[in-house]
Amino acid sequence: MKTTVALIEDNAGICEELKLVFAEAPDVTCVSVSRNLQTALRVVPPLAPNVVIMDIQLPDGSGVDGAARLKRLLPETQIVMYTITQDADQIYRALEAGASGYLLKSASPEELIRSIREVRQGGVPMTPEVARKVIQSFRRPAASRSAVEALTKREEEVLELLAQGLASGEIAQALRIGIETVNTHLKHIYGKLHVRSRTEAVIKYRG
């Protein structure tokens, strides 16, 4: 099975190294290399690669957001994060964003190529440390997995009304506060839930 891959990575050295790695695999073709998010979001969607390998730390934004946006534009594309951080929170966010794999940069070239093949066949390649953390998240349920708990009481009230379809003005009326205050609460909610619109907030809230 032929596989097209787009690489999003800012470090030039790693890019070169990965190009060599890809060249070793006859069934893997690297169709694009982007050094930042902005370029990637413009260049990658038209190419519709089978797999995207991307870093989390990018110069112009978080790879997690980038992954979410790419996944929305290309639902069929499998996204594999390739990064140094094994921060549990980053891992969860990446998976929430739609990533299908999470490799640490300590992975060998062979593992990387194997992972690309694996993800194409429906697998979920992860470095063992990462897999372990993912599984652990099931043992302490709902702790870090729902950011909703970080919301203040008022913010939650606003979100609840938002999730009922009310507009800002209507929420203001219902809570007897100013519309500006509602918008301030919304800003804070967006920040805490890592979303960019009321629709996304509602989706996250309603699970």
Partner DNA sequence: GGGCACATCCCCAGGACTGGGGAGACGGGG
Partner DNA sequence: CCCCGTCTCCCCAGTCCTGGGGATGTGCCC
Strand pairing category for 61-62 and 3-8: unpaired
CB of residue 184 to its own copies, shortest distance in Å: 19
CB of 132 or CB of 187, closer to DNA: 187
Select the binding partner of residue 100 from its own copies, DNA, none (C-beta < 5 to 8 A, by kind). Answer: its own copies
CB atoms within 10 A of CB 172: 20
- SS3 category, 183: helix
What DSSP character marks residue 124?
A: -
Binding mask 131-160 for DNA (x = CB under 7 A): ---------------------xxxx-----
Residue 35's identity, in one-letter code, is: R
CB of residue 158 to DNA, shortest distance in Å: 8
> Interface residues for DNA in 53-82 (CB under 7 A)?
none
How far is the C-alpha of 106 from the C-alpha of 128, rounded, in Å? 11
Residue 175's identity, in one-letter code, is: L
Of 8, 120, 93, nearest in space to 58 by CA? 8
CB of 29 or CB of 183, closer to its own copies: 183
- Binding site residues, its own copies, CB under 8 A: 45, 69, 72-73, 75, 92, 95-96, 98, 100, 121-124, 126, 128-129, 131-132, 134-135, 138-141, 145, 161-167, 170, 173-174, 195-200, 202-204, 206-207
Residue 109 tokens, joined:
């070239």
CB of 19 or CB of 187, closer to DNA: 187
Residues 6+ apart with CB under 8 A from 26: none
Contacts to DNA by CB under 7 A: 152-155, 167-169, 175, 177-178, 180-181, 183-187, 190, 196-198
